[in-house]
Every structure is written in C-alpha cells, then in structure tokens.
C-alpha cells in the first residue's frame, strides 16, 4: 500500500469521526432548544433526591429517629451502655 493510499484512508476516517461528532453535537443542541436538556436533568436530580430522602427517612417504628450503625442491635447497645456504666463506676471508685 502506498503512502498516498494510507493518507486517503486516514483522511476518510478523520472525516467520519468529525461527521459523527457534528451529528452528536447537533442532536444535543436540538434537545436543548426544545427545552428537554435542562429540564430532564433537573427532573432526574429531583427524583434521585426524593428516592434518597425516602430511603434514609426513619420509619415510624424507630423510636429515636436516628440511623443505627451497620450491625448495631439493641443487645449490643445495651451491653455497651452496661460497660460504660461499669467504667464510670470504676473511675469513681479510683477517685475516692
């Protein structure tokens, strides 16, 4: 294959890439002109935020209304409270 033929193929590929890019940009411009570009993204963000809000809102059964850590159970929290009370009592005995 001669150098001229390679150059022709290279030029054709560049032209095809440029045409695809122009087509994509034109479709984006048309979509924005119709008003779909900005509104769609705002609607998507609002829906995503609403989903996250619903997902992280505590249920009515949650008495504290706070998120619990992963793996936290009532037994673990009670045991931790008991250990804290023991430590506090131990510190008070050392002070006296």
Q: With 60 as the cut, is the pLDDT of residue 56 above it?
A: no
Q: With 90 as the cut, is the pLDDT of residue 96 above it?
A: no
| Number of structural domains found in the chain | 1
Instruction: Tell me which residue of 73, 13, 89, 75 sits closest to 5, measured CA to CA.
Output: 13
Strands of 2-91, DSSP E:
none
Residue 76 within a domain: no
- Give per-residue pLDDT as tens, 67-82: 556 667 888 888 899 9
**What does the alpha-carbon distance between residue 10 and residue 16 come to, in Å, rounded to a whole number?**
10
Residue 64 within a domain: no
Give the domain extent around 33: 1-56
Q: Quickly state the pLDDT bin for 23 (edges 50, 70, 90).
A: very high
Residue 67 within a domain: no
Residue 91 within a domain: no
pLDDT at 65: 52
Residue 40 within a domain: yes
pLDDT at 58: 54
Residue 86 within a domain: no
């Amino acid at each position: 294959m001669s150098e001229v033929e390679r150059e022709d193929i290279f030029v054709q590929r560049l032209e095809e890439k440029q045409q695809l890019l122009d087509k994509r940009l034109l479709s984006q411009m048309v979509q924005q002109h119709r008003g779909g570009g900005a509104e769609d993204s705002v609607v998507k963000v609002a829906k995503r935020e609403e989903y996250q809000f619903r997902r992280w809102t505590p249920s009515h059964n949650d008495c504290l209304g706070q998120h619990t850590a992963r793996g936290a159970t009532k037994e673990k929290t009670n045991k931790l409270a008991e250990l804290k009370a023991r430590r506090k009592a131990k510190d008070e005995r050392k002070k006296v």
